[in-house]
Homo-oligomer: A and B are copies of this chain.
Amino acid sequence: MHFDYSPKVQDLQARLQAFMDAHIYPNEARFMDEVAANRARGNPWRPTELVERLKPLARAAGLWNLFLPNSPRAPEGLSNLEYAPLCEIMGRVSFAPEVFNCSAPDTGNMETLERYASEALKDRWLAPLLRGEIRSAFLMTEPEVASSDATNIQCRIEREGDELRINGRKWWSSGAGDPRCAVFILMGKTDPQAPRHAQQSMVVVPADAPGVHIERALTVFGYDDAPHGHMELRLENVRVPASHILLGAGRGFEIAQGRLGPGRIHHCMRSIGAAERALELMCQRLTRRVAFGKPLAAQSVWHERIAESRCLIEQARLLTLKAAYMMDTVGNKVAKAEIAMIKVVAPNVACQVLDWAIQAHGGAGVSQDFVLAQSYANQRTLRLADGPDEVHRMAIAKLELARHQVQATTELEPPVTRGC
């Protein structure tokens, strides 16, 4: 057991921090302004010039594709444990991860392609994604069913000769409205008669395939989350080559579990960054504002919340690091309890700290003057995305109960005392 970051990680932290200080924090207002200007001109989904300008700088600084472990195509990729503290730093600013080509849903999609796609598909889609030339979307959730139970997914994928014909409706397909978004990974049902967990498959769908219709953008609380955005799509007789199926027909669940692990832990790392920033803003605000004769920072109700925030964040970070360590050492499958745990813990911690930080800021906290309200909306959504809290808690509980049910047959707990 050893709790220090490695020298390699400490070096990367320092360089990433310097990049954030030089290029990210000073441009937060400019980013918002550029998006607002694009929105006012009628197209909020247009990529910002700011991010496009910063990407080459990040790449030149060696801060690029840090997320992808064990890929010959991304030698700079780190292990999950190494990546965690860097991803956390990026998570402090909403547009930062893209600058380093480390943004959702691309990282999860790239990992999926790296693991499960043919070399041909990798050449076609993974390569430009790794270069940051195109973006991607993940088409899983559907509006008509409780997608938290993935067996509910209805989108139909039918084999017709050498092609797959796809019909269905998807939503919360984040990034699908970006003009650079060139490819989707889609989950759908290839065999409704197969056993419950072998009905689904994942396929690669070019975004410009005929029959792909972007119907509308969803808002998150009041935010459109432009330029990224969350789209509802209709797929009507969309055709792709049969070779676009990943891993094999009926193996969608298997991929989902492999894909969602890294995707989820990246979200958690960023959640911790968001929580740290909220605590920082909270402390700064409380120090500067005076009410009833003393700084808010001197009032013990805020001591309680600051301390509780620090305790929550430290613990969430350690659990995330442990989950990353297990993913690296024993694999995503064995680490499934830990992944489920951080998936519940991290956004809940972030929401709690953000809520206190908002309260500390008064009306300013819910407004556009601070990142807090938008960050809250984002973190609140993560309690639903990639499976709601309840589904992950059920999974954790079943693993826990399984452990004790085995014991239960061999060891009956004795009452401690028998007499009165």
Using a CB–CB distance below 8 Å, which chain A residues touch chain B? Answer: 1-6, 9, 28-29, 32-33, 36, 81, 141, 143, 145-149, 152, 171-172, 215-224, 232, 279-281, 283-284, 286-292, 296-297, 299-304, 306-308, 310-311, 314-316, 318-319, 321-322, 325-326, 337-338, 340-341, 344-345, 358-359, 362-371, 373-374, 376-377, 380-381, 383-385, 388-398, 400-401, 403-405, 407-408, 413-420
Known: A29-B417, A420-B215. A400 touches B222 (CB 8 A): no
On whether the beta carbons of B221 and A152 are closer than 8 Å, the reply is no
- A53 → B minimal CB distance (Å): 19
A interface SS class: helix
On whether the beta carbons of B311 and A401 are closer than 8 Å, the reply is no
Contacts of A394 in B (CB 8 A): 292, 300, 303, 307
On whether the beta carbons of B420 and A29 are closer than 8 Å, the reply is no
Nearest 7 A-B pairs (CB), nearest first?
A222-B222, A216-B420, A222-B223, A307-B393, A315-B315, A283-B404, A303-B397
User: What is the chain B residue whose CB lies nearest that of A404?
Assistant: B283
Contacts of A358 in B (CB 8 A): 380, 384
- Sample (17) of A-B pairs whose CB atoms are under 8 Å apart: A146-B291, A221-B377, A279-B400, A284-B413, A287-B401, A287-B408, A302-B397, A304-B390, A306-B396, A306-B401, A307-B344, A314-B341, A315-B318, A318-B322, A359-B388, A365-B384, A369-B417
The CA of A219 and the CA of B36, in the complex, are separated in Å by 13
On whether the beta carbons of B146 and A296 are closer than 8 Å, the reply is yes
The CA of A146 and the CA of B298, in the complex, are separated in Å by 14
User: What is the chain B residue whose CB lies nearest that of A351?
Assistant: B355
On whether the beta carbons of A398 and B362 are closer than 8 Å, the reply is no
A141, A368, A393 pick with most chain B CB within 10 angstroms: A368
